[in-house]
Amino acid sequence: MTPDTPGPLAEATPISPTATPAEATAEGGSLLAAVELRKRFGATTALDGASLRVAAGEIVALMGPSGSGKSTLLHCLAGIFPPDAGEVRYGDRSLSRMSETARSALRRGEFGFVFQFGQLVPELTCAENVALPLRLSGVRRREAQRRAVGELERLAVADVARKRPGEVSGGQGQRVAVARALVTQPKVIFADEPTGALDSLNGEQVMRLLTEAARASRAAVVLVTHDARVAAYSDREVVVRDGRTRTFG
C-alpha cells in the first residue's frame, strides 16, 4: 500500500456486534475466548498467561516480536494443541473438556485455516484442493466440486481450477488456500502469516479478498502477522510479548 492509498479499513464494511450467532456466543458476547493460557515446550515458556476474546465476525491481528508466542496462541485457540493451563472457550464449550474426536469435528466444521507455505496437496488440482474439506465432511463429489469452483470465482482464481498447485503462482496458490479455508463457511478462520511468502502487491490482494470474503460470510478471523500493512486489514490488533497479550479485548 502506498502512503497516499486510503487504508483498507476506510472501505471496509463495518460489522455489527448484533450479527453474533446466539447459539455460539459465550458470556460477554465473544465467540472464542482464551483465558490465562500457559504453554511450555521443554524449558521454553511459549505462553505465560495469554488471554484473548474474539467476537463473531471480528478480524483480530496478533502482532509482536519473533518467538513471542503468537503462533502458539493461534494453535491453542484452534484446538490444534492443548494449553498446559488456562482455558479456550468456543461459544459455551470448553475445548479442553472436549474429546479429540469432538475437537477435530469442530476444526473441520467450524474453523478454516490458512498458513504460509505448503498447505495445498500437490497431487490434486486446485479445485480438488478446495473441495477436499467438503469431501471430508461427506459432501458428494459433484456438489463439492461445484461449491469449490464457486469459491475460486469469488477469490478471482477460477482460471486455475484445473491446474495443480505446482503450476500456479504464489499469489494464486494463496488465494486457492483462502478459498479452501472459506468453502465450508467456517465461523472462524485462523491465518498464520498468510501473506508471508508473497510480495506486497499479492499480499494486499490476498488480504483484501480474505477479509472481504470473511465479512461477507460473517466469519471471524484470527491472523498472525509481522506486517503492519497486513494488520491494517483487521478490526483490532493485539500485541503478544513474552507469551502474554498486551490487550484483553
Ligand X SMILES: Nc1ncnc2c1ncn2[C@@H]1O[C@H](COP(=O)(O)OP(=O)(O)OP(=O)(O)O)[C@@H](O)[C@H]1O
At what angle are helices 170-182 and 126-136 packed, to 10 degrees?
A: 20
Candidates 8, 69, 165, 194: give the one binding ligand X (CB under 6 A): 69
248-to-51, 57, 76, 160 alpha-carbon distances in Å: 6, 17, 17, 41
230 binds ligand X per the rule CB under 6 A: no
The cell numbers describing 163, all together, are 491446474
Tell me how long the chain is. Answer: 249
25, 36, 48, 71: which one binds ligand X (CB under 6 A) = 71
Specify the residue, 81 or 248, whose C-beta has the smaller distance to ligand X: 81
Between the CA of residue 36 and those of 13, 61, 66, 213, 218, what are the distances in Å?
32, 19, 21, 31, 27
Q: Does 44 bind ligand X (CB under 6 A)?
A: yes
What nine digits make up the cell of 33?
A: 475466548
- What crossing angle do the helices spanning 170-182 and 141-154 adopt, rounded to 10°? 120
Contact range with ligand X by CB under 6 A, out of 7-15, 50-58, 61-69, 177-185? 61-69
**Least spacing, CB of residue 235 vs ligand X, in Å:** 21
Provide the minimum distance between the beta carbon of 25 and ligand X in the complex, in angstroms, as a whole number: 28
Angstrom distance (rounded) from CA 5 to CA 28: 36
Of 68 and 174, CB closest to ligand X: 68
Options 7, 17, 29, 67; binder of ligand X; rule CB under 6 A: 67
Whole-angstrom Cα Rg for the chain: 18
d(CA 128, CA 173): 13
Per CB under 6 A, 46 contacts ligand X: yes
Minimum distance, C-beta of residue 88 to ligand X, in the bound complex (Å): 15
Regarding 72 and contact with ligand X (CB under 6 A), the answer is: yes
- Site mask for ligand X (CB under 6 A), range 181-220, x = bound: ----------------------------------------
Instruction: Please tell me what DSSP assigns to residue 87.
Output: E
Residues in binding contact with ligand X, number by CB under 6 A: 11
Among 66, 100, 138, 142, binds ligand X (CB under 6 A): 66
Binding site for ligand X (CB under 6 A): 41, 44, 46, 64, 66-72
